[in-house]
Structure 1
Amino acid sequence: MITTPNVRQAVPFFGVANMERSLAFYCNGLGFTLKNSWNPQGHIRWCWLDLGEASVMLQEYLEGKRPEGTPGLGMSICFQCQDALAIYRETRALGLTPDEPFVSNGLWVTGLTDPDGYELCFASPTDIPEETKLSELQPL
């Protein structure tokens, strides 16, 4: 057992097929900022992105090395935020297609799928009854 707690943060590390497309989604769409990157031959191959206190790392697959199947199948990354409904509205206004928000486990939850198929959820606390959909309370 580790007796000296020195872990500070867990950062999802996603393999991506097209770094430019992924950066457009994460930075232009979701508002992440570039914290660090590795740029061989002037092209970003790896990067660390921040959004508030959350982070993700992206690594572009080498030519011919993309694994078969759906990336991250059965896994989702859930970002805890102050207002998941605001994220839903803002991403829709940008032309993205977030899932309709619903209440689960005392949280408003909305989700997006990134360009490589990774599931991203955004959640915020609520006292609205379980399983309520946003469309039941207001028009979408």
Structure 2
Amino acid sequence: MILNRLIPLINVEDLDVSLDFYRNALGFTVENRHDLQGKPIWALIRHGEIALMLNRPDAADSNARRQRPSYGDTLLYFYVPDAQAAHEELAERGYAPGPLEEQTYGVAEFTLRDPDGYELACASLLGPQEERTLEDEDDD
């Protein structure tokens, strides 16, 4: 079997609210969407090579997810060029990112929750960027 792409699908309570968050906070654009009776029920969003599907099922309840502790479930992990700059920008714009921390595995990272409580991590590699790339991490 050959797998050549992964596009996570997450279920959300209000697709309009989620689309606003992913567009405004993270810079995603809507590549495709389907509406039912004038309301969006599914969308494919993209930011460069990153794609994500948002789906509004008939019934979605995000309360339990919103209450989970950090790293309590699935986490969407995004690499950014500068985690500190991303953290500052999101905080200035009112998105309340978690604390920026340097991890022993060589990244600076922070987490952020989307409107449905999905946890997103934003990380950048520590150390000289010319010497270390994401491909180097695959070798670790």
Q: Which position in structure 2 is the counterpart of 1:90?
A: 89
18, 40, 44: which is aligned to 2:40? Answer: 44
Counting aligned pairs with the same residue, the percent is 30
| Matched residue type, 1:70 | R
Instruction: Indicate the SS of the match to 2:115.
Output: coil
TM-score when normalising by structure 2? 0.78
Instruction: Indicate the SS of the match to 2:37.
Output: helix
CA distance in 2, matches of 1:54, 1:89: 22
CA distance in 1, matches of 2:50, 2:83: 14
Query: Structure 1 residues 67, 95: CA separation in 2 closer, same or farther (over 3 Å shift)?
Result: closer
Q: Which position in structure 2 is the counterpart of 1:114?
A: 114
Q: Which position in structure 1 is the counterpart of 2:101?
A: 102
Q: Which position in structure 1 is the counterpart of 2:136?
A: none
Paired residue total: 122
| Matched residue type, 2:111 | G
Q: Which position in structure 2 is the counterpart of 1:66?
A: 60
| Matched residue type, 2:78 | F
Whether the 8 Å contact between 2:13 and 2:61 is mirrored in structure 1 is no
Whether the 8 Å contact between 2:35 and 2:41 is mirrored in structure 1 is yes
User: Aligned-pair distance for 1:67?
Assistant: 5.0
Q: Which position in structure 2 is the counterpart of 1:125?
A: 125
After the TM superposition, which parts of structure 1 deviate over 4 Å for at least 4 consecutive aligned residues? none
Deviations 1:32-86 (A, max 9, x none): 1101111122221100111222121100121xx2257327951111012222222
TM-score when normalising by structure 1? 0.78
